[in-house]
């Protein structure tokens, strides 16, 4: 009986660990520390079962560098990724799977002092 209880407890803990949030590095940008930064614009919405976060930077090269570094760290866990250049504009996208759902993350930047990052997916993918 003791073995069955221990085995059941291990299975439950394993399922809970599998269902935890994606722990994306880019989500650190939405922790509230940039809310008063004049070079940052944040967009957050939840509707129709979808979750969306946008992070726009203008005139802040140091912050753009940080955003790119966080994005690159997350790309190591991506199920797929794509990079392309259109003129001077650079685009990078990736998909991260969490709770069996895809989270789409994208980054675009034209110069060293401005960028746009978005994170979107079903709400269940972020739980």
Distance CA 121, CA 119 (A): 7
Domain coordinates in residue numbering, the chain? 21-126
At 65, list the tokens. 């560098």
Residue 45 has pLDDT above 60, yes or no: yes
Residue 3 has pLDDT above 60, yes or no: no
Instruction: Name the band, by pLDDT with cuts 50, 70 and 90, for residue 87.
Output: confident
C-alpha atoms less than 13 angstroms from C-alpha of 84 in its C-beta half-sphere: 6
pTM of the model: 0.77
Domain 21-126 top-level CATH class: alpha beta
């Amino acid at each position: 009986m003791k073995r069955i209880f221990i085995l059941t407890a291990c299975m439950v803990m394993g399922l809970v660990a599998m269902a935890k949030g994606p722990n994306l590095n880019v989500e650190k940008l939405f922790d509230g520390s940039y809310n008063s930064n004049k070079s940052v614009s944040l967009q957050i919405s939840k509707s129709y079962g979808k979750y969306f976060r946008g992070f726009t930077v203008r005139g802040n090269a140091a912050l753009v560098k940080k955003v790119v570094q966080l994005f690159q760290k997350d790309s190591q866990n991506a199920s797929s990724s794509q990079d392309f250049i259109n003129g001077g504009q650079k685009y990078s996208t990736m998909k991260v799977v969490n709770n069996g759902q895809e989270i789409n993350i994208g980054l675009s930047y034209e110069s060293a002092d401005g960028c746009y990052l978005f994170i979107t997916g079903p709400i269940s993918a972020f739980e």
